[in-house]
Amino acid sequence: MALIVQKYGGSSVGTIDRIRNVARRLIETQQAGNRVVAVISAMSGVTDKLIALAHEVMDNPPEAELDVLLATGEQQSIALLCMAITDMGYKARSFTGQQAGVCTYGSHTRGRIAHIEPDQVISALDEGCIVVCAGFQGVAENGRIHTLGRGGSDLSAIAMAAAVKADLCQIFTDVDGVYTCDPRVVKNARKIPVLSYEEMLEMASSGSKVMQARSVEFAKKFGVVFEVRNSMNNNPGTIVQEENPEMESLVVRGVSIERNQSRVTVSGITAPVAYTAMILTALAEAEINVDMIVANTAHDGMARQSFTMNMNDLGAAQAALKPILPQLGPKARLDTESGLAKLSVVGVGMRSNVGVAATVFRALAEAGIATGMIATSEIRISTTVEAGDIEQAARVVHAAFHLDSNEG
C-alpha cells in the first residue's frame, strides 16, 4: 500500500464545487489502494482578505497576531473538505499544523519547519481516514502559531512527505505543471516534463511562483521527488528531481519574471572597503532581502552601490540606511527607483554552454528593450527592465531560446 501526499492550492479549493472535486480525487486515490494525506491551502483570496482586515485595524499589525489570523484561512478549508469527504460517505480527519506535529522556528509570518512529528497523522491513516492537514502553519517551541511565508503550503506538503516517508508527493494547482514561462504571460509556453531541483529553485526564487522557493530547497535537502499537476484534469505534470545528464541538453529551460522591483543606490561613498558590510548589515538587521548588488567606483573616485529589492521593502530600506549615511561619507546620498521588473533565464545546460547572455541581451536589444542591473549564477542570468516592458521581454527571450510550443 503506497502512501501519497497530495497538496491542493487555493484555487483548487476556491469554491465549494472545487472542494467537492478535491474530495472526489482524494477518495479515488484512497480507493485505488493508497493511504492519503492531503495538505490544503486557504480558499483563494482568503489569505489576502485576512491581511487586508488586519491592516484595517492598524498599520503595522503585530506579526504574532497576524499569524493567528492567517492560520484561520487554512482551518476553514480543511474543515470544509473533511465535511465534503464525509458527505460522500468516507472517513476523513482534519489536522491544524499543530495537531499534525509541524514544529517551527524563526520569525512570525516566515516561520521555518524544524521537524514534523507525524504520529497522530499516522494513527488516523491506520484508522482508515483520509488525513487533511492545514498547510502554511505550524507551532513554535513557545506554543505560538507560525505561518510559513506566502505560498507556504507547498513547504508543508514537501515536509510532510519527508516526515511520513511518502511514496509520492503531488502538488496540485491550476495549471498542468511547470511551464517554460508563466503561461498567463507567454501564451505558447510549454509544460516541462522533468526539471532538476536546482532549476526549479532558481525559477521559483526568480519569480515563477508556481512553487514556493523554500519548499524546493527543502525537497532538495531531503530528496523529496515531487510532481506539479493540475487539480482539474488527469494530465501528467512536471516531475522535479535530482539533476541528470539528459537535462543539460537544453541550455535554457525556463524564463521567469518578477514584478514590483525597486532599486536603491547609495552614492558618494568615501568610507573604506568595509562600506559594503555596513550597508548590508543595516539591511539585514531590518530583515530586508537584497537581491542584485552592483558596486563600482565613479570617475570622481567616490564609490557607489546599487541593489534591488521588492518594492514593499523600499520604505524599510530607506529607514535602515539613512542613519548610516554620515558614516559612509560626508556627501553620501540615497536615491531610489521603483517601477522595475526582473527577467531571468534558467537552465543547468548553461554551465557547459557559452553565449547564453549574448542571446538574451541581443533579443532584448532587437526588441528595443533597455536593460539595467545584471546578475548571474551558474545556471541563471537575470536583468532588470522597466516594469512596462517585462511581458514583451519575456516573450522575445522565450522565443530566442526556441522555447515556444510552435517551434518545438
* 41: contact with ligand ASP by CB under 6 A: yes
Three-state SS for 136? coil
The whole-angstrom separation of Cα 240 and Cα 201 is 10
Closer to ligand ASP by CB, 156 or 384: give it: 156
Contact positions toward ligand ADP, by CB under 6 A? 9-12, 41, 151, 173-175, 178-179, 181-184, 208-210, 254
The whole-angstrom separation of Cα 321 and Cα 378 is 31
Q: What's the min distance (Å) between Cβ of 288 and ligand ASP? A: 20
Q: Read off φ and ψ for residue 185, nearest 5 degrees.
A: -105, -45
Closer to ligand ASP by CB, 47 or 384: give it: 47
* 112: contact with ligand ASP by CB under 6 A: no
Among 14, 97, 138, 152, binds ligand ASP (CB under 6 A): 152
Among 101, 138, 151, 152, binds Mg ion (CB under 5 A): 151
Closer to ligand ADP by CB, 151 or 347: give it: 151
Q: What's the min distance (Å) between Cβ of 171 and ligand ASP? A: 10
Q: What's the min distance (Å) between Cβ of 209 and ligand ADP? A: 5
Q: What's the min distance (Å) between Cβ of 42 and ligand ASP? A: 4
Instruction: Kindly indicate which of the ranges 3-11, 89-97, 117-125, 259-267 contains the residues binding Mg ion, using the contact rule CB under 5 A.
Output: 3-11
Q: How far is CA 142 from the centre of its chain?
A: 27
> What is the side-by-side strand order in the sheet with 254-269?
293-297, 303-310, 254-269, 333-346, 380-386, 371-377
Cell of 174: 491550476
Cell of 264: 536603491
Closer to ligand ASP by CB, 40 or 185: give it: 40
- CB of 240 within 8 A of CB of 195? yes
What distances in angstroms separate CA 277 from CA 120, 261, 281, one per listed residue?
Answer: 47, 22, 6
* 101: contact with ligand ASP by CB under 6 A: no
Q: What's the min distance (Å) between Cβ of 181 and ligand ADP? A: 6
Closer to ligand ASP by CB, 154 or 391: give it: 154
Q: What's the min distance (Å) between Cβ of 41 and ligand ASP? A: 3
Residue 141: which residues within 8 A CB-CB, separation 6 or more? Answer: 103, 105
Helices then strands (H, E): number in the chain? 12, 18
Indicate left, alpha or beta for 339 from its phi (over 0: left) and psi (-120 to 50: alpha). left
- Amino acid (one-letter) located at 19: I
Closer to Mg ion by CB, 197 or 401: give it: 197
Closer to ligand ADP by CB, 144 or 209: give it: 209
- Amino acid (one-letter) located at 342: K
Q: What's the min distance (Å) between Cβ of 353 and ligand ASP? A: 35
Burial class (CB in 10 A: 0-12, 13-18, 19+), 165: exposed
Residues that bind Mg ion (CB under 5 A): 9, 151
Residues that bind ligand ASP (CB under 6 A): 9-10, 41-42, 47, 73, 135-136, 150-154
